[in-house]
Every structure is written in structure tokens, then in C-alpha cells.
């Protein structure tokens, strides 16, 4: 198992590199963007959080994170897989009853023959699911949260993963898959990964990762807004619609990667950089007719089973960036300095401890191509989406304090005016400080045109009014509920 963590890091490509960054100086200035928003009182608030992962409920990382979030004042439900589920992406077992467990849990907390879903026995409000990360997330969101809070959670955190999940890796990561499952329901979600910290200091490292996460969550909670209810009014906080966390549009979450750090590092040593997921990655995938031809597969089995057992058997293996096998697998380099893999590598080389924070969608929308006016060949006479379309409820202001801002739309001005009028009518003095930048030392990705912005629309809970969706104006077909 230790060798597996070293090779895979709990995520598909999450191998913990042995590179160690020097303790960095604290970087960046406190960046705040002050915006007006309707009827929002910004304050540090306790959140209802579902925590899951793909490494299993007994891992040090998830246990330390859950405890740290509780100490910070949040209400936490842990709903995680029974055992290691790396590389499962968003897979689920449809229409299959979850049978009793066939073996004890890896850490021995739950015996063989136990129900396939149940309490861990480790702490209150902690549960396991003998299934994939997405299934564990669904159990927390669909069953545990309504039973405990009478509502969906304010936030889902998937992780911390034992290894990074960046660039190409995100499509196959169980950590990311669980977070995307929550985003599909309109629930804010963070996929959290930390470069592997094996050895005697792993528990200390888990504590630092948890402290960094608590710091990030506190900053996002400062800019949490109350969403509209399904009947058009403002939700009173007791409904089922989760809050809009950190000023992110509905259906947009964060892929967060924490690099390796030395034994003396603390949460106060980190800075944050807003990045792109990008295509740059430390690892890729390749199918081998003979797994014995894969250096990674041979190294993986070297610590246990006989490497010779691979000879003559086909299978999929990992290929490391910068190797001939990576190039032979067809991967093309992404040299963008804002790709999260490259941003972390650059910061680490400079001796800085910088956390990459990348917005991600719940779907595989390619808005860059659509905004640029891509369409099918003219011979097909297809109906094409107009380029740079502004959909109802769009929000195009910069969240990183750039000076290249658009003028607010008339709809936005009208909404603000109405909100102010209502506020004064009820005699409530509302101090509105909805900062869309993290209230931590952060560096924001500069704007390079509309196609690099977050999707220009806000998806309301239960509906997506974009007429160009492939469900003809409806955000999706059949949903999944556990």
C-alpha cells in the first residue's frame, strides 16, 4: 500500500515526488475586491460541509481535515468510500444494491460482513460507502445531509487526496469525480489534493494541509451569498438550495492543489494563485500490449509481487511527463504559465509554497470554442450558437481585481437598485462587502479575453436556462440519487 501511495498518491496520477521546497517567505499582498450585491451581509459563517475522498474513510488526511473543520466551527458530515478508490473518476454502480462488505476495511475499523453503507464508528457523523467516490458523495448529499440538516450542504470537499490531481489527471481522478458529482446538483464543491507526504511526518503534513484548507474555506465563506429560491424569492437559509460560495456561479467549483512542503511549513507560509486546470500534467496514460514494457508498472510491482508476473499481459499504465513514453502516448505539452501544473512547478523552483486554485465546471462545456464562434461545416446547415452570447443571469465582472472591467448590465443595476430599495423599506442597514477575490494572499490570473473567463451564466438550482444546451433548454436529463 505504501508503494501504491508513492506511485499513485491516492489519485490516478498523484505520485508524491521526492522534491522538497524550501520554506518560502510569505508572498503577495492581501487582495480584496469590493462589489455591491443584493441583500448580502458578509461575515465569517459556519458552513454545513460534506467531506468525502477517493482514498477511504480511514486515511489520515480526511480524518484530520474533518476534525479541523469542526474545530473551526463548521458542521461536518464525513461520507467516504470504504476502501481505496483511486482513478474511478465519476463512475457509479447503477441500479445495483450495495451488498455487505466482503472484507474488513483497510484500517480495521469496520468488520467484514458489515452493511455496505453505515457509520464508521470512529467519530459522530462519519459514514462509509462500499462504492466509488461519486457514490459516497451522493450518500452524503442525498441522504445524510437532508436527514441531519433538512437541506443540502453548503459545500462539498473531496479530499485531501494523497497526491496531486492537475491538468490531464483531473478527468480520471476519483477526488475530482466526487466534487463534480456535487457540482452537477448545484452544490459548491472543492476537489482538494496535496502532493504526497509519506514517512514519519505524514500526520504532521496532514495537519498542515487541513489548516491550509480551513484558511481557504474561511475566505470563501466571507463571500457566500444567499441564492434565490425556486419560487423566485430569496431563500431564507432553511431551504434545500445551497449557498453560492465564494462568488462562484452555480455549477462552478474549484480544483485545489497543495505542493510538497518541508517539515517546518505552516499554513501561514502559503500564498494562493488562481490558475487554469490546463492540459499540463505530471502523468498520462498509455495502454501496453505487454505491461512489462512499462517502467512505471515494473517499479510499482517491485515492492511486492514479482515484476516478472507482468510479462506477456496487456494493461494500462502511467507514463511520466518528460519521458519518451509520455511523448509516444500522444500527449502534447501545455506551456501556459497559468496551467496549474506549470504554476506550481515554477513557484516551487523559486522556493515558494504556492497553492493552485483552478475554477472547474460540472460539465465538459467547451465555452472557448463556442464563444469564438465555432460551428459545424456549412454543408450541414447547422444552427450555430452566436459567439460571445450573454445569457440571462450572466455575470462578467472580474473576480481578481483587474482593471479591464465591463460596465454592469442594466439587469444587474436594476437588481441592485431593487435590493437597496427593499433594504431601506424594511429599515435594515446592510453593509455589503461581497469580495470575489479570496481574502488571503493571492495572485489572480489576468484576463486574456472572454473565452478565458468563467462561463457567462449563472445556473439556478434545478434549471439551466441556456437555450443552447444539448437538452434544449434544460440543464440535464435524468439525475442520479442514492
Q: How confident is the model at residue 176 (pLDDT cuts 50, 70, 90)?
A: very high
Exposure letters 396-410 (e unless 16+ CB within 10 A, then b):
bbbbbeeeeeeebee
pLDDT at residue 243, rounded to an integer? 63
pLDDT beyond 90 at 200: no
Q: How far is CA 388 from CA 63, 321, 408, in A?
A: 44, 35, 16
Is the Cβ–Cβ distance between 129 and 79 less than 8 Å?
yes
Taking the C-alpha atoms of residue 28 and residue 464, their distance in angstroms, rounded to an integer, is: 37
Rg (CA), the chain: 23
**Cα separation of 171 and 87, whole Å?**
9
Q: Which amino acids are annotated catalytic? A: 193
The predicted structure's pLDDT at residue 373: 80
Q: Encode pLDDT of 243-278 as tens digits.
A: 677 888 888 999 999 999 888 899 999 999 999 999
Which range among 275-289, 334-348, 441-455 shows the weakest confidence by mean pLDDT? Answer: 441-455
Burial 219-253 (b: 16+ CB within 10 A, else e): bbbbbbbbbbeeeeebbeeebebbbbbbbbbbbbb
pTM: 0.72
Report d(CA 369, CA 360) in Å as an integer: 16
Q: Classify residue 143 by burial, with Cβ atoms within 10 Å: 0-12, 13-18, 19+.
A: middle
Instruction: Name the grid cell of 157.
Output: 470537499
Residue 32, pLDDT above cutoff 80? no
Q: Is the pLDDT of residue 424 over 60?
A: no
Q: Which residues have C-beta within 8 Å of that of residue 437, sequence separation ≥ 6? A: 31, 32, 33, 399, 400, 401, 444
Which secondary-structure segment (H or E) carries 77? strand 75-81
pLDDT value at residue 300: 82
Q: Write out the H or E segment, with its range, that includes residue 136.
A: helix 133-138
Residues β-bridged to residue 126: 78
For the stretch 338-388, pLDDT in tens is 999 999 999 999 999 999 999 998 877 777 777 778 887 788 788 887 876
Report CA-CA distances (Å) from 262 to 60, 92, 442: 18, 37, 21
Between 263 and 124, the higher pLDDT residue: 124
Q: In terms of C-beta density within 10 A (0-12 exposed, 13-18 middle, 19 or more buried), how is residue 202 classed?
A: middle
Q: What residues does 274 pair with on adjacent strands?
A: 357
What is the average per-residue pLDDT within 310-330?
Answer: 91
pLDDT at 397: 36
Task: Look up residue 446 and give its three cell numbers.
Answer: 489576468
Amino acid at each position: 500500500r505504501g508503494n501504491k501511495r508513492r506511485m499513485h498518491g491516492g489519485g490516478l496520477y498523484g505520485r508524491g515526488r521526492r522534491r522538497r521546497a524550501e520554506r518560502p517567505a510569505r508572498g503577495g499582498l492581501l487582495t480584496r475586491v469590493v462589489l455591491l450585491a443584493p441583500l448580502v451581509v458578509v461575515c465569517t459563517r459556519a458552513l454545513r460541509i460534506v467531506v468525502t475522498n477517493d482514498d477511504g474513510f480511514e486515511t489520515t488526511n480526511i480524518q484530520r481535515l474533518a476534525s479541523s473543520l469542526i474545530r473551526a466551527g463548521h458542521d461536518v458530515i464525513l461520507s467516504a468510500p470504504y476502501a481505496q478508490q483511486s482513478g474511478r473518476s465519476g463512475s457509479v454502480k447503477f441500479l445495483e444494491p450495495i451488498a455487505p462488505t466482503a472484507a474488513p476495511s483497510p484500517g480495521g475499523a469496520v468488520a467484514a460482513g458489515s452493511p455496505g453503507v453505515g457509520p464508521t464508528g470512529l467519530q459522530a457523523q462519519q459514514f462509509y460507502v462500499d462504492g466509488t467516490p461519486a457514490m459516497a458523495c451522493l450518500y452524503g448529499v442525498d441522504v445524510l445531509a437532508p436527514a441531519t440538516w433538512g437541506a443540502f450542504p453548503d459545500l462539498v470537499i473531496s479530499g485531501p487526496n494523497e497526491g496531486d490531481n492537475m491538468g490531464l489527471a483531473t478527468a480520471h481522478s476519483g477526488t475530482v469525480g466526487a466534487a463534480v458529482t456535487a457540482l452537477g446538483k448545484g452544490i459548491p464543491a472543492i476537489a482538494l489534493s496535496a502532493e504526497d507526504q509519506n514517512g514519519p511526518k505524514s500526520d504532521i503534513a496532514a495537519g498542515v494541509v487541513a489548516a491550509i484548507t480551513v484558511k481557504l474555506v474561511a475566505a470563501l465563506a466571507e463571500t457566500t451569498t444567499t441564492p434565490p429560491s425556486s419560487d423566485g424569492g430569496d431563500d431564507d437559509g432553511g431551504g434545500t438550495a445551497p449557498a453560492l460560495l465564494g462568488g462562484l456561479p452555480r455549477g462552478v467549483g474549484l480544483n485545489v492543489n497543495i505542493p510538497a512542503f518541508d517539515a517546518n511549513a505552516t499554513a501561514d507560509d502559503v500564498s494562493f494563485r488562481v490558475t487554469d486546470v490546463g492540459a499540463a500534467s505530471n502523468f498520462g496514460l498509455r495502454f501496453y500490449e505487454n505491461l512489462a514494457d512499462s517502467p512505471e508498472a515494473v517499479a510499482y510491482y517491485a515492492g511486492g509481487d514479482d515484476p516478472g508476473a507482468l510479462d506477456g499481459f496487456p494493461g494500462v499504465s502511467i507514463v511520466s511527463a518528460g519521458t519518451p513514453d509520455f511523448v509516444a502516448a500522444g500527449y502534447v505539452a501545455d506551456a501556459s504559465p497559468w496551467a496549474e501544473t506549470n504554476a506550481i512547478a515554477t513557484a516551487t523552483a523559486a522556493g515558494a509554497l504556492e497553492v493552485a486554485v483552478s475554477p472547474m465546471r460540472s460539465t465538459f462545456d467547451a465555452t472557448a470554442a463556442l464563444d469564438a464562434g465555432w460551428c459545424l461545416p456549412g454543408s450541414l446547415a447547422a444552427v450555430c450558437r452566436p459567439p460571445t452570447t450573454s445569457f440571462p443571469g450572466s455575470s462578467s465582472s472580474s473576480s481578481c481585481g483587474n482593471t479591464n472591467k465591463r460596465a454592469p448590465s442594466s439587469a444587474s443595476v436594476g437588481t441592485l437598485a431593487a435590493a437597496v430599495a427593499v433594504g431601506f423599506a424594511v429599515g435594515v442597514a446592510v453593509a455589503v462587502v461581497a469580495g470575489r477575490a479570496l481574502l488571503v494572499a493571492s495572485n489572480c490570473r489576468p484576463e486574456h479575453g472572454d473565452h478565458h473567463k468563467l462561463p457567462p451564466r449563472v445556473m439556478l438550482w434545478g434549471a439551466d436556462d441556456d437555450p443552447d444546451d444539448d437538452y434544449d433548454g434544460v440543464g440535464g436529463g435524468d439525475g442520479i440519487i442514492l
